[in-house]
């Protein structure tokens, strides 16, 4: 009997080759300390990026349909920006960046800029540390730019690889503001895993499948941002927080005068200003209408006007780290109580004091719209009449002036703070002669510093200074009157 030969054994295709392909790394780019020649034959960054895209395989994730975003990203160890590619989205607003020298780091979106050099940009050549200026960008798509180096010679400009260039943080902050990135504009090598409902629409109706949306935990929530005097990079911190706020659906508020308004009355050629409790209104500008709750974000407690007004109104002052956590999978706004900052350090009590706030703040919009009815906040001057005496304490004339954290306006916020702390009537006058009443008629007369006390005050005058008011606000109680 003829027996047919056994068929050749068919083996399942091995994935070993694929794994080997995955393990293959692109040609090694120079390290940040490299002395690679500027005319090296190493492939241009754009070409390397494309190769990286072609060879990257990730289980359960799809490759980007278009090239991953090239960026200049902050390398925190030396505070310079280097070229790299956005690999993947990490927690919150942080992205994993693979730099051209094969190092990598997790960088917040606030510290990323488009990999777009322009004529006139100040740069530094990595291998010799010479500063230079970009003079030619015609070959930038190939990964090279012409740089005129500041090395003391009269040589003409030379072409340098973008991988050989770094940029100082200060230059980025000053001149690259129009090259920032948004989450929508970034393409990553590894695409984020979509929610399960979107990955597997089977068993769902078309209506329910298409209605799955990413919820924003901070919708209708406003944030005023400030920084402590100890912060070495306040603008970087502020930019990072503002981007995180917007990323999570929140609204950045310039200052309290954007949503609150005091309609004080000026007289005596603007040398006198008078306001009462009834003049303080929740009156947001058109772009901030619809807000239902507000918070203050800071890196630490401080005595800047924005922070003090929040304390006086009972608005929670929170650590800015709260906003930058990963809330992408949250369906509701996260709790804020655990990130409540101290009210500050009381000089009189020699202790850090906690804020006095309603722990249910923000669970209804009336907390904001009826904020002057907040019974939890310390209304230490409730029912009192106050005179703020001195040219520096009179609010600037104009709509909603004097709520800035900087400059002369910092002291001109004191009348605002007194209203927020419950004073029934607050008057500010540049000199005694412009006050509407005799000094003993006021419950408190406030001057800027102890050195501003009148030398021979009238009997029955309760004289205090601004530092005493701040300490009372931080301590949550009326302290002993300052000595004259």
In this structure, whether the domain defined by 42-185 belongs to CATH 2.30.30.140 is answered with yes
Give the closest residue to 266 by CA, choosing from 366, 140, 395, 401. Answer: 395
Of 182 and 329, the one with more pLDDT: 182
Q: How confident is the model at residue 208 (pLDDT cuts 50, 70, 90)?
A: very low
Which of 45-49, 368-372, 469-473 reaches the highest mean pLDDT? Answer: 469-473
For the chain, what is the radius of gyration of the CA atoms?
30
**Mean pLDDT value across residues 177-201:** 76
Q: How confident is the model at residue 171 (pLDDT cuts 50, 70, 90)?
A: confident
Average pLDDT, the chain: 80
Q: How confident is the model at residue 157 (pLDDT cuts 50, 70, 90)?
A: confident
* Dihedral, 143, 36, 105, 225 alpha carbons, nearest 10: -70
Q: What's the pLDDT score for residue 151? A: 62
Of 443 and 46, the one with more pLDDT: 443
Summarize pLDDT for 213-244 with one digit per residue, the tens: 455 778 889 999 998 776 666 677 778 888 88
Summarize pLDDT for 21-42 with one digit per residue, the tens: 333 333 333 445 443 333 334 4
**Mean pLDDT value across residues 75-95:** 91
Contact of 457 with 295, CB cutoff 8 Å: no
Q: What's the pLDDT score for residue 25? A: 37
Of 28 and 109, the one with more pLDDT: 109
The CA distance from 432 to 434, in Å, is 5
Model confidence, pTM: 0.59
Q: How far is CA 79 from CA 151, 210, 217, 315, in A?
A: 22, 44, 32, 35
Q: How confident is the model at residue 130 (pLDDT cuts 50, 70, 90)?
A: confident
Q: What's the pLDDT score for residue 12? A: 40
Contact of 44 with 70, CB cutoff 8 Å: no
Percent of the chain with pLDDT over 90: 54
Give the closest residue to 344 by CA, choosing from 467, 207, 236, 218. Answer: 467
**Please, where in the chain does CATH 3.40.50.10190 lie?**
221-475
**Please, where in the chain does CATH 2.30.30.140 lie?**
42-185
Domain 221-475 classification at class level: alpha beta
Q: What's the pLDDT score for residue 324? A: 66
Summarize pLDDT for 415-450 with one digit per residue, the tens: 999 999 999 999 999 999 999 999 999 999 999 999
The pLDDT of residue 128 is above 50: yes
Q: How confident is the model at residue 7 (pLDDT cuts 50, 70, 90)?
A: very low
Q: What's the pLDDT score for residue 403? A: 53
Summarize pLDDT for 291-341 with one digit per residue, the tens: 989 999 999 999 999 999 999 999 999 998 888 654 444 445 678 999 999
Q: What's the pLDDT score for residue 14? A: 38
Q: How confident is the model at residue 382 (pLDDT cuts 50, 70, 90)?
A: very high
The pLDDT of residue 375 is above 50: yes
């Amino acid at each position: 009997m003829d027996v047919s030969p056994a068929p050749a054994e068919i083996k399942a295709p091995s994935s070993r080759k694929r794994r080997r392909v995955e393990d293959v790394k692109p040609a090694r780019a120079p390290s940040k300390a490299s002395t690679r020649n500027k005319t090296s034959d190493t492939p241009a960054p754009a070409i390397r990026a494309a190769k990286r895209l072609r060879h990257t395989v990730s289980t359960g994730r799809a490759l980007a349909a278009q090239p991953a975003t090239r960026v200049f990203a902050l390398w925190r160890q030396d505070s310079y920006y280097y070229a790299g590619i956005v690999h993947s989205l990490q927690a919150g607003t942080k992205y994993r960046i693979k730099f051209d020298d094969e190092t990598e780091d997790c960088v917040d979106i606030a510290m990323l800029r488009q990999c777009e050099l322009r004529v006139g940009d100040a740069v530094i050549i990595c291998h010799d540390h010479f500063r230079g200026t970009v003079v030619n960008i015609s070959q930038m798509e190939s990964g090279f730019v012409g740089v005129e180096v500041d090395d003391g010679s009269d040589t003409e400009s030379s072409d340098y690889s973008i991988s050989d260039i770094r940029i100082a943080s200060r230059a980025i902050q000053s001149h690259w503001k129009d090259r920032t990135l948004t989450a929508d504009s970034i393409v990553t090598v590894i695409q984020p895993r979509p929610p399960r409902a979107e990955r597997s629409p089977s068993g769902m109706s078309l209506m329910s499948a298409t209605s799955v949306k990413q919820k924003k935990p901070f919708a209708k929530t406003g944030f005023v941002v400030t920084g402590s005097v100890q912060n070495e990079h306040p603008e970087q911190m502020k930019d990072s927080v503002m981007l995180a706020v917007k990323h999570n659906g929140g609204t950045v508020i310039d200052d309290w005068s954007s949503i609150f308004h005091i309609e004080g009355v000026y007289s005596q050629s603007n040398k006198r200003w008078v306001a009462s409790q009834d003049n303080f209104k929740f009156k947001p500008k058109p772009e901030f209408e619809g807000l239902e709750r507000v918070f203050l974000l800071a890196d630490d407690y401080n005595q800047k006007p924005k922070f003090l007004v929040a304390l006086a109104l009972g608005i929670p002052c929170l650590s800015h780290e709260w906003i930058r956590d990963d809330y992408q999978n949250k369906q509701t706004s996260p709790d804020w109580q655990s990130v409540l900052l101290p009210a500050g350090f009381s000089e009189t009590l020699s202790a850090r004091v906690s804020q006095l706030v309603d722990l249910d703040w923000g669970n209804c919009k009336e907390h904001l719209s009826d904020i002057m009815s907040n019974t939890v906040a310390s209304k230490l001057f409730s029912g009192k009449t106050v005179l703020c005496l001195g040219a520096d304490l009179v609010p600037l004339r104009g709509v909603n002036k004097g709520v800035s954290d900087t400059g002369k306006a910092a002291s001109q916020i004191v009348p605002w703070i007194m209203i927020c702390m419950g004073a029934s009537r607050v008057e500010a006058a540049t000199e005694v002669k412009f006050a509407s009443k005799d000094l003993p008629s006021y419950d408190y007369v406030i001057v800027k510093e102890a050195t501003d006390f009148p030398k021979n005050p009238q009997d029955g005058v309760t004289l205090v200074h601004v530092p005493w008011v701040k300490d009372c606000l931080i301590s949550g109680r009326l302290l002993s009157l300052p000595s004259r």
